[in-house]
Amino acid sequence: MNIFFYASTMSTAGKHYLKKLLGISELENITILPEGSLFLSPLALKLRSGDLIILFVADKQELDKLVTLRNEFNDFRIILILVNSDSETIRKAHLLQPSFITFLE
């Protein structure tokens, strides 16, 4: 199983979170997909069924974009990192069928 990290836009919070992730020895081989081109980048060709994708969602607009692609995520395990934990965001996040949801806070 390969591990990928993706953020639609690499905000300051996203960069900070990614830096923390890279400090975890188990994640030293994580592939960072370029912002704004989840399935369009050459690195995305490494994605295989069952791989883990860590999605960092900085705001509701990014979540909306990811939800429109939700069928593309069916073959992957998703860990979703949300910046805020309001009920509307959480409800919408479940449309991606993540294995795990966590919050920046």
| Residue 101 pLDDT exceeds 90 | yes
Q: Give the model confidence (pLDDT) of 16-60 as tens digits.
A: 888 888 888 887 789 988 887 788 888 888 889 999 999 999 888
- Token couple for 94: 């479940």
* Dihedral angle, C-alpha 67, 72, 77, 81, nearest 10 °: -30
Please tell me the pTM assigned to this model.
0.89
Q: What are phi and psi of 31, to 5 degrees?
A: -100, 125
pLDDT confidence of residue 52: 94
pLDDT confidence of residue 27: 79
Find residue 54's DSSP bridge partners: 5, 79
CA count, 13 A, side-chain hemisphere, 71 = 1
Q: How far apart are CA 33 and CA 89, in angstroms?
A: 23
pLDDT confidence of residue 94: 95
Q: How far apart are CA 80 and CA 73, in angstroms?
A: 12
- Amino acid type, 43: L
